[in-house]
Amino acid sequence: MYFYLFHWAQSGVPIVLKGTVADPATFMSKQELVLSGEYSKIRNFMFFVITPLEWLVYLLILGTGLSKVFEKWSEIGLKWKVIKNSAYVFFLYLFTTVLFYPIDYYRYSLSKKYGISTQDYSSWMRDYVIDFWVNFITTLIIVIVLYWLIQISKKRWWLYAWLLTIPFAIFMMYIQPVVIDPLYNEFYPLKDKALEEKILSLAEQANIPSEHVFEVNMAEKTNAMNAYVTGIGDNSRIVLWDTTLNQLTESEILFIMAHEMGHYVQKHIYIGMAAYILSTLFGLWIIAKIMPWLIHRFGEALKIEKMTDIRSLPLFLLLLSLMLFISNPISNFVSRYQETRADEYAMELTNNPEAAVSSFQNLAKTGLSEVNPPFIVKIFRYTHPPMLERINTVAEYTQKKE
């Protein structure tokens, strides 16, 4: 991957597009072009290194007997099995968090070095601790229920677990905007009431039930821009980062918001939820078939006697991580298609291709994004089409309109 990313991969702008609005040389300075290339290559390389490293860590936890040690620690002075399992999850989660902390810190410092992050260390560390507890509590609930199901039904646990993921996923989507997101940032009604009225007018055209647009203070953490429609039911809300408000014109902001509304109108949230539910069913079924065989075949080397043992959790997480990595190209392909549809919807709603192009240019510039990444990087990492493709979508739409 190192040689592919730093020496072999071709990621420049095609000759036919040189000098056009899709060419980053027309909207980025020479320094920004250099920084964009460096930053993208380092981040892409880290992605392809860290994921296999995670698998290796899980194997080492199992093979060295560390998982068994965590299990013994969790049994000291504890009677109830659910409490023991909770203690094991805490030891495992704490160990992996501490182990990967240097990598997480390097990512933060890298983002800071290239001018993406503006967050000081104390603020970053505060978010890091919040992340730990939010993810730990979520993981703990899932693991406790999962191993309880494995204990009571060794053959059909995967089906029962899948059935429970449906209400759990809906519940998490419902509480995300009002419980989890405010832990990290302050949300408040949009200060610019004239702009809010125009955004709500767009929302009305799109039949989106919303009375307020929310602003979130991100400028103290990042220079990047974002906007989104989140939540379901009564908790759905339109959110704008203040960096977006500070760096884009009104017409560009309206295009960005129209894009996010496109996801809502075209039911991408519900399609994504349905895809998640189906892929979870398939994933749990695969794990239910593979994991017992692996324990039977390699249980002695992995220090696992049976699947019901909580010490088998690292093997479960390893298989889950492998499947997520393998499925990345498919899920990213679907996501890129949905993003293209949302772009087309935004152009229909705003009828302002100039604002669309300048929005994409500004997004690429502030995020130091590659406008045309290498093929492997695109299929494994890009949930949105590269900026080159998004700008081409605008050109094709304009030609079609004419």
- In the residue annotation, 260 being an active-site residue is answered as yes
Judge whether 343 counts as a catalytic residue: yes
Numbered residues of the known binding site for Zn(2+): 259, 263, 339
H or E, element range at 327: helix 313-350
Element (H, E) at 241: strand 237-241
CA gap 397, 43 in Å, rounded: 32
CA dihedral over 159, 163, 166, 168, signed as positive or negative: negative
d(CA 204, CA 312): 51
Q: What is the dihedral of CA 78, 83, 88, 94, to 10 degrees?
A: -110
Q: Which is catalytic among the residues 215, 252, 260, 309?
A: 260
Which of 215, 205, 192, 199 minimizes the C-alpha distance to 251?
A: 199
Give the torsion sign (CA, 141, 147, 150, 151).
Answer: negative
The answer to whether the beta carbons of residues 233 and 174 sit under 8 Å apart is yes
| C-alpha radius of gyration, the chain, whole number | 23
By C-alpha distance, which of 54, 383, 367 is closest to 226?
367
Q: What is the 3-state secondary structure (H, E, C) of 178-229?
A: HHHHHHCCCEEECCCHHHHHHHHHHHHHCCCCCCCEEEECCCCCECCCCEEE
CA gap 217, 189 in Å, rounded: 11
Q: Which of 242, 343, 344, 370 is catalytic?
A: 343
- Phi first, then psi, for residue 216 (nearest 5°) are -125, 135
Instruction: Kindly list the catalytic residues.
Output: 260, 343
